[in-house]
């Protein structure tokens, strides 16, 4: 699917991904999806020079929970709880972003001061 001639950007990125062999031995390790240092499930293929990380290739998708596909068949209000679980550490900011998006899409004017109920 890619052409045989490489663009300069492709060459640069290929260079970055291939470890420079030669003087030191570099160790390539997969810090797999279950590791105390990975927050959540996130895999990193690291190339190490001693203790120093020289290159890193992240692999993710271990928590792909297809919120978009679910939102295709749910109403706007029904996909609100799913946005909580997008980034579960700061759930309210996801809720707020979604609410802002829906309000903009529907052209709703929401008053910012709290209303007083008699």
Partner 1 sequence: MDQKLRIELSKQGIVVTTLEELYNWGRKNSVWPMTFGLACCAIEMIATSMARYDIARFGAEVFRPSPRQADLIIVSGTVTKKMAPQVVRLYNQMAEPKYVIAMGACAISGGPFKQGYNVLKGIDRYIPVDVHIPGCPPRPEALIDAFMTLQKKIDAQTLTGESRPRHLHPDTPSEFVVPRFGAHDLEPPNNPQVFRILNNVDSRHAGEVDAGGN
Partner 2 sequence: MLEEIKLRLETSVPGCHPEIILNGSPSEQHSLLLDSAHAVDAATFLRDDAELRLDYCSNVTGVDWLQTETSHGYLEAVYHLYSMEKKHGPVVVRLRTENRTDRIHLPSLTPVWRSAEFQEREVFDLYGIIFDGHPDLRRILMWDEFEDHPMRKDYVEPDDYEYEPTAHDDVLTKAKQHAPQQQPE
Residues that bind partner 2 (CB under 8 A): 1-3, 7, 9-10, 13-14, 17, 60-61, 64, 66, 68-69, 104-107
Near partner 1 by CB under 8 A: residue from 2, 4, 73, 112: 73
Nearer to partner 1, 13 or 90 (CB): 90
Please enumerate in sequence order all residues whose Cβ is within 8 A of that of 37, keeping only pairs 6 or more positions apart, or say none.
Answer: 31
Contact flag: residue 75 with partner 1 (CB under 8 A)? no
Which of 18, 30, 63, 97 binds partner 1 (CB under 8 A)? It is 63
Q: Which is closer to partner 2, CB of 32 or CB of 52?
A: 32
Q: What is the distance between the alpha carbons of residues 95 and 38, in angstroms, rounded to a whole number?
A: 25
88 binds, among partner 1, partner 2, none (CB under 5 to 8 A by kind): partner 1
Q: Quick one: how far is CA 114 from the chain centroid? A: 35
- Strand 43-49's sheet: what is its strand order? 27-31, 43-49, 52-59
Q: What is the largest CA-CA distance in the chain?
A: 78
Residue 72's SS3 state is helix
Residues near partner 1 (CB under 8 A) are 32-36, 40-41, 61-67, 69-70, 73, 81-82, 85, 88-89
């Amino acid at each position: 699917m890619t052409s045989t001639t490489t663009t300069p950007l492709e060459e640069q990125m290929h260079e970055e991904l291939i470890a420079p062999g030669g003087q030191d031995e570099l160790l390539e390790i997969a810090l797999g999806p279950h590791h105390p240092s990975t927050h959540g499930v996130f895999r990193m293929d690291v190339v190490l020079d001693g203790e120093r990380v020289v290159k890193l290739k992240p692999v993710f998708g271990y928590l792909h929970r297809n919120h978009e596909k679910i939102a295709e068949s749910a109403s706007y209000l029904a996909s609100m709880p799913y946005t909580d679980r997008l980034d579960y550490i700061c759930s309210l900011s996801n809720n707020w972003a979604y609410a802002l998006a829906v309000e903009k899409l529907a052209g709703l004017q929401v008053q910012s001061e709290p209303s007083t109920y008699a």
